[in-house]
Structure 1
């Protein structure tokens, strides 16, 4: 167990040793500071919760891009740099090596999310003061009169589930392709094209449309309504989670199979 934790620690060191990682964290903090400060100066009606919600909605896509870049380069980068052979000759199974990389990526995505949540909460608390009134709930469209802080935590948790799916998908492509640049570019293209295409296809009256991955990544929309209806389609939280679970199993299975069967001699 200790050896495996050392593996995870080593993979984390690889991520945080790069200056690009710290630039990503700096960009998130900069966005929180700039948006919160400008809102305080120019807005008279916003509360700390509405500002936090706005920051989260915008910065979530940025965090997704950052995690895609790091995830897609994780394994493919080892092949590109030729360091994969040095990694595999060590006394660890391929499955443990792969799992350690995957856990490190999930921790990276979690770190970005926590940094955004904590910095946004503390700064807006200082600038706007604490507000848990019904007005804040109404502005956030909170259901069941839940506390605004509880609502924001739910938003972050549900968005993190979406991040897990994106990390897993990009990690799979990183395992399939030997080129880090190709894995990153393809992951980004599929992600953004998938979001656009799924939104358009949702208008079609075909049952198979409901099983498209990208329709189910934005789980926080279920905090405003229990059922998403459009034409003949009706999506629920349970159905979306079930679809994501199937995709997750497929992505993990493909990743494990390819990495364990791949010949790294060539």
Structure 2
């Protein structure tokens, strides 16, 4: 187990040695800072709640994190084929499954790290600028929501991360199957950002099979406000549908990687 964790650590080093990793992090933090600082100087009444800013920036940032993680996930496998270093990986006494799993875990840790840094930075910055207010979720999110705003933010973040895991797995699978980072990034972004934008329209379909469409369930936060896109849909059912797609994506990636002559 310890040796496997060293393999995961090696994959993390590959991610954090590249300048693009820090450029993407810098862009996200700069955007958050810009939104908060501009709002602070524009709001003459100074009635802006820090929690309102945190939620606004979280929604924007999670979209950026999704795009950045897709880029990292797509390059994690495809870049090994492009540079030919995949052969060096397979010389080591590791099975192909463990090599692929280490890359997958490293990508998920990157996504988690980005989300944690984003939330902490946004919370600290907005608390400094606007002050800390002890408010409830109903005052910030919706009158239909009750409880602590911090607890709501935690649930919101967890559900966003689950969706991020599914999206990342899709990109990871496409990169593994195609061995092309550019194709995986382009196709993943098209599916997630393009097709997903039509999710509300897809939700209006009267057919039963529409209940099982991936894009209708990717935004799990719809269930926090008890406002699902389709009547009768529940969070449990959404998890079930996403789990089916997740197993398909993972299974396809592992099958192709193990069967392909990657050393050629």
Settle same-fold status: TM greater than 0.5: yes
- 2-structure distance, mates of 1:86, 1:143: 56
- 1-structure distance, mates of 2:135, 2:175: 46
- 2-structure distance, mates of 1:22, 1:251: 28
Match of 1:86? Answer: 88
Match of 2:128? Answer: 126
Q: CA deviation at 1:130?
A: 1.1
Deviation track 1:79-111 (CA, whole Å, cap 9, x = no partner) reads 111111111111111111111000000000001
Match of 1:52? Answer: 54
- 2-structure distance, mates of 1:199, 1:29: 30
Match of 1:24? Answer: 24
- 2-structure distance, mates of 1:139, 1:157: 18
Match of 1:256? Answer: 254
Deviation track 1:113-144 (CA, whole Å, cap 9, x = no partner) reads 0011000001111111111224x632311655
Q: 1:218 aligned to 2:219? A: yes
Match of 1:244? Answer: 242
Match of 1:35? Answer: 35
**Contact kept in structure 2, 1:142 and 1:151, CA below 8 Å:** no
* Residue pairs, 1:136-215, within 5 angstroms: 137-141=138-142, 143=144, 145-215=146-216
Q: CA deviation at 1:236?
A: 1.1
Deviation track 1:224-257 (CA, whole Å, cap 9, x = no partner) reads 11x5254xx4321111111111111111111111
What SS does the corresponding residue of 2:228 show, helix, strand or coil? strand
Structure 1 window deviating more from structure 2 (202-211 vs 187-196): it is: 187-196
Q: 1:8 aligned to 2:8? A: yes
**Contact kept in structure 2, 1:142 and 1:223, CA below 8 Å:** no
- 2-structure distance, mates of 1:145, 1:193: 33
- 1-structure distance, mates of 2:200, 2:221: 16
- 1-structure distance, mates of 2:80, 2:191: 22
Q: CA deviation at 1:147?
A: 1.0
Q: State the superposition RMSD in angstroms.
A: 1.5
Q: 1:196 to 1:32 in 2, by over 3 A?
A: closer
Aligned length: 262
What SS does the corresponding residue of 2:244 show, helix, strand or coil? helix
Q: Any stretches of 5+ residues in structure 2 without a counterpart? A: none
- 1-structure distance, mates of 2:169, 2:9: 19
Displacement over 3 Å in runs of 4+: none
Q: Any stretches of 5+ residues in structure 1 without a counterpart? A: none
